Structures are given as C-alpha cells and as structure tokens.
Amino acid sequence: MNKALVVVESPAKAKTIEKFLGRNYVVRASMGHLRDLPKSQFGVDIEHDFEPKYINIRGKGDLIKTLKDEAKKASAVFLATDPDREGEAIAWHLAHLLNIPYSEACRIEFNEITKPAIQKAIKHPRPIDLPRVDAQQARRILDRLVGYKLSPLLWRKVRKGLSAGRVQSVAVRLICDREREIQAFIPEEYWTITARLREKPRSPQFDAELVSIDGKKAEIGDETLANQVTKDLEQAAYTVQDVKRRERRRNPAPPFITSSLQQDASRKLGYTARKTMMLAQQLYEGIEVKGRGPVGLVTYIRTDSTRIAAMAQEEARGYIAATHGQPYLPEKPPVYGTKKKAQDAHEAIRPTSLELTPDLVQGSLSRDQFRLYLLIWERFVASQMAPAVYDTLTVDIKAARYGLRATGSTLKFPGFLAVYGDSKEDAEKEAILPELAVGATLKLQKLSPKQHFTEPPPRYTEASLVKTLEENGIGRPSTYAPIIETIQDRGYVTKVEKKFEPTELGFVVVDLLKEHFHDIVDVDFTADLEDRLDGVADGESSRIHVLKEFYGPFVDTLTKAEEEIGQVELPVEVSDVKCDRCGRLMVVKHGRYGNFLACPGFPECRNTKPILKETGVNCPLCQGAIVQRRTKRGKTFYGCANYPECQFTTWDTPLKENCETCGSFKVRHNFKGGRSVVYCGNEACATRVRTEPEKAKPKSKPKSTPKAGGSRG
C-alpha cells in the first residue's frame, strides 16, 4: 500500500512528526516558501485587480520535482504547515504545485507537535482556508506596493540602497519622535525630604517621606525652599496621625504570547527578538531528548492570545498541587483577558507537557535553548498559581504644617513568586515598620533633603519597542523580529548600550515621509490597515477592496511627491582625523556595525577607519591605550589601540580603579540580566581565585578589529 505524504516546512519538524505517525506516512520538508513574487520585477498586475505573479523560488526546482513525484504515488497528501496566515499561504502554494484542488480536505493544523495533537489533526483534515490566504497575499502585495514604488523615490531623492516599508517606517518614526522628545526635554529641579524617626530611645528607626504641606501635595522646586522646610522640620514635633493595615494581593502575569516572550527574553536573558524567535522555533519543531527521541517542547510560538486549553490547565493544577501544595492552587483556573485585536487562533505559548521538566531536558538542550525553555516553563506554571500576598502598613505622621508618610511591606505568602518573578519588580521593599499607635510621639533622628532632576523619556530598547508596536496594533507577532533587524540593516537606527538611537539618515527619511507620505508613517493609519487585513482573514472584506482603497490615494501622493521633492542633502560630519592615504579630513559615516570614519574621496580613495572610544586605561602589555572595539557581529570588546603589534583583548570593561593587591587595573564583568562583578584584570593576581566570575574569560579571543563599517553611501 502506498504511503500518505505529509508536507511541513522544516526538516526538524518533519523528523519529530514522522516519529508520531508511523510507517504508513512519509514526512517531507518544503524548506519554507516554494513560490514568491519575483525580486527582479514588480510582480503585481495593478490593472487586473492586483493579481500577483508568483514564480518558483530559484534553487528550489529539484525540491519541487521531488515533492511532485512523492505526491503522485502517495495514497493521500496532507499539508501540515504552520497554523497561521503565512502557513496557510505556504499550503496554498503547495496545493498549486502538487495539483491538489483547494476544496480538497488536505490541510491539517495543530498547535503543538505532540503525538495526540498530530494524530488528532491527521484524522480531521480540512480544505485550505482561502480568506486567510487572501489576508496573507494582501499583506504581501501591500508591502510590495510600498517597497517597490516608494523605495526608488528615496534612491533618487536621498541615497541609493534605501528602502521604505509599510511597518518598518512607523517603527523608525517612533524611535525618531522619542529622540526628539529627549532632545527637547528641559530637566526640572525638585527635592525630596526624608526623616529618620523612632518612638523611644531603643526602638527601631524607620524612614518617612514628606508628602504634604498645608494639606497639599509637597512640591519643592529649589534649594532655598528645601532648606526652609528642613529648618521647620528640625524644630517640629512628630505625631502619628493614622495607621492603616491592609492585605494586598498581586496576581501572576498571563502565559506568554509572542510579544511578551520577546520582551522578557530581552530583559531577563539579553536575547534579541530574532534570537528569541529562532530558539523558540527550535523548541516548537522538536529537540532530540535523551531516551525520548525528537520532541516538540513548546506550543506554537506566533500567537497573540493568552488562552490555555482546558487539558493543559488541569495538568498544571495537578503539577502545582503535587509540587508546591494545595495553598498554591487557586480555587478556579485563572482566565486572562485577551486584547481586543488578538486573533485568538491558537493558545498562549506553554510547554507541551509538564512531564518534560527543565531538569529532565536540560542535558538535551543548548544553554540558550534551556534558558528560554525555563523562562516559558516558569511563566506558564506561575500563571496558573495563586496570587502573592503582602501585608502592608502605611503610617501618616503630622509635623506642624507638614505631613509625612512611612510605608512598610512584608511578603506574607509567596504564591506564584515561588516559581516566577522579576528581580527588580519583586524586590518589594520589605521595610518592616515598628508597631505604632495613633497619637504616639516620635523623635527625629535625622533629616535628609535630596536634590533630583526630572529625566527625559527613555530611548526604546528591543523590549519596549516591541511592547509599543503591539500596544498600537502595528505589525503582528511574526513581524516584530524582522522589523527590528531591517531598520538596523538599513542604517536608520543604531543600537547603543542596548537602546535604539536614530541616525541622521533615519531623521532625514522619516521627516521626508512625514511631510509627503503622512499615512505611511502614521501609527493610527497603519494599525487601521492591520484591522482591515484581519477583516479579510475573517471573510468580512475582500483582498481587492483593501488594496484598491490603499493604492488610489498612495499613487496620487507618489506622483505629487516626485514633483515636489528636490534632491535631499544628507548632513556630513567632518572629523579632525586626516586620511593616511590622501590627506583629506575623514567624515563620519554610519554602517551596519555603527559609526566609522571614511575618506570623502570615495570612490577614488576607499580608506575607512573604526571610531575608537578610549577607556582611560593603559594596556598591561605595552602601556598603549585600551579602546572599545566591536566584533564583526557588533558585539563590544576591548583591545589595545596598538593592534596588530599588541594583541591584548578582553570582553570585560576596563576600569580606572586599581587592584589593592597588585596595582593592576580592575575590570567589570556584566552578566545577562543586569548583574555585574568587579575583579582584578591581572590574571596572575591572587584575588582572581576568589572573585573571577565563571566563564568570564572568553574561550577564544575576540576578533581583534571589527569591520570598519557597512556599505558606503
């Protein structure tokens, strides 16, 4: 009997699924898309309802032939691509290539790669969901319209090699707008005053902060007023005015969706969005677990729903009761609200089985895979646990015309914090206040006036940018990682100390788009377009209608902009460094790996140099300056300025502080998650035995010199 053919996207997924289906099935991988719009031409027939012209992707001819041959002799063909719009479109293309009617029940879908899920899916095939395919095609064509019509305008008016994207341009605008807020920000001075108090000579001391003056919120804007208030408080009598005790509950966070996984992996593990999605895909498709073969460890990783299957909740409740005890189990399984625009097609991201504990699979995973799996595991288990409970105490104190407040908080019951918490958020100040009664008289021990200045809004990190895109309905779970990668590759933004800063090129392009293509960089317009694409997927609107609505105004704007926009001159920053080949003063350019110096005589003179940032520390080998450098992948390291004559390098940050034992400079080793340790930079120093962090020294030396820059331009 001929075997049934099952087609998936990746070999890892194929290997895992084949194990579950048995000998009557053969599983093959399509290696992603097999057809796409051509790169060398527009590929969309606007005159005929935006009909796309698909071609077979170059290099996939042999694979297509193999799949066709397998399909001809198969007893049945099942298309098991990912359970989202992109996967539906890949299945649609496969059906076209393998001559399978779209109405035939050939499509199988599952949220997790486990034996029960696969066997259930194979018993319930369905026809291809054409509205979902239409939604994916509409998105692809919209992106092609913007990219292939607007990008050439930028080449002609600004610089060759630029691109504009329907979603990426909005992301760059957000970063540019934030930078302008920072540049325009004027710090305002304010003061806080803290009193250290106690009731009796041997009673414990505690702090209370000034909160009101004459019954109104305390606002102290300068040193003169701060000194006057401090003088008054030094002479005032302190009396307990009110004591409030209450119990505060803190609920666990919901299980991960794509965006929250990317955010927590960035904050806690230091992973980029791209790295997080790559590792999550590996965990989803299947890992070779010792004694079990290939196993899919987590559910589908592109989702915006916090919904959890009832069976998974019951399994979690059993695990929590057995492992932590009945008090850690809420009476009813928690239900988390899903945001209005969530597609809710599949569950939140969770482990496929709680039998696959982190301890059980650790030996089968790489370090990075394990850390992400542990994060997903702990977040899911915690999401099904009881709230944490705090006892809080608030004491209001009167001192003449001034009001002060002391707050204390103690963790009464850890609840979900026993499994998953945030080190910064959960380090709730457990300030334990002494027992105080209303009317009690307090003695002043010390007053601490402190000057502060308001701070500008922070620059976006990967985590906060993903959060903002999600909150504004920009893009979808699968698009966040490529958006972040693209805006850096194009030179519109650069990452400095894990925060995004726009380049001059980014400002120029965003300003041009804001003036002439307002809708392309408008947050509300882009979010509304996402809603319309959702409408296509739900069968409420047609692909052609959405494309026509967008294209008419867009092409009119394009024609007008072509006439109005003159040649845009990019600002040039001239350095004081002379080109050592032709003597010209070099200019600052921006490449994929950051800023670098380039000769303005390009293309006659192609000389480039990295911009070296000195640390103020001398090299231990030759006494030259230690400078900050970057590897070809953009990772920061430190090396001697006299390279290649001197080969000194280190991953750790050199400090101007000297070791008390040997006199050598110290270095700071930064751990992922924000923790750091300072230790001696001299490998022979006796203190290294006790203080050197595990794996602080790189196994291999960093590349001695980073790539000087990206593309010229």
**CA distance linking residue 588 with residue 591, whole number of Å:** 10
- For residue 161, count other CB atoms closer than 10 A to its CB: 14
Burial of residue 61 (CB within 10 Å: 0-12, 13-18, 19+) is exposed
Buried b / exposed e across 179-208, counting CB within 10 Å, b at 16+?
A: beeeeeeeeeebbebbbebebeeeeeebbb
- For residue 668, count other CB atoms closer than 10 A to its CB: 14
Antiparallel, parallel or unpaired: β 4-8 and 25-29: parallel
DSSP-derived secondary structure letter, 347 = P
CB-CB contact of 372 with 280 (8 Å): yes
What contacts 626, CB < 8 A, 6 or more positions away? 614, 615, 617, 618, 619, 638, 639, 640, 641, 648, 654
Annotation marks residue 300 as catalytic: yes
Burial of residue 482 (CB within 10 Å: 0-12, 13-18, 19+) is middle
Report the number of secondary-structure helices (H) and strands (E) in the chain. 19, 29
Tokens 């103690």 belong to residue: 410
Rounded to the nearest 10 degrees, what angle do helices 480-489 and 273-285 cross at?
140
CB-CB contact of 217 with 211 (8 Å): yes
Strand-pairing partners, residue 618, are 625
CB-CB contact of 71 with 5 (8 Å): yes
**CA distance linking residue 559 with residue 279, whole number of Å:** 44
**CA distance linking residue 67 with residue 5, whole number of Å:** 9
Catalytic residue among 300, 390, 402, 679: 300
Tokens 């992922």 belong to residue: 672
CB-CB contact of 29 with 11 (8 Å): yes
* Element (DSSP H or E) covering residue 296: none
What are the tokens at 605? 């003179």
Cβ-defined contacts of 606-612 (< 8 Å, 24+): 606/712, 607/579, 607/580, 607/581, 607/582, 608/708, 608/709, 609/577, 609/708, 610/705, 610/706, 610/708, 610/709, 612/641
* Element (DSSP H or E) covering residue 162: none
Q: Nearest 5°: CA angle at 609, between 605 and 611? A: 145
Instruction: Put residue 50 in one of left, alpha, beta given phi > 0 → left and psi -120 to 50 → alpha.
Output: left
Strand-pairing partners, residue 192, are 450
**CA distance linking residue 251 with residue 215, whole number of Å:** 34
Tokens 């004559």 belong to residue: 645
Can you tell me whether residue 367 is helix, strand or coil?
helix
Compute the Cα dihedral for 534, 536, 539, 545 and give only its sign.
positive
- Catalytic residue numbers read 300
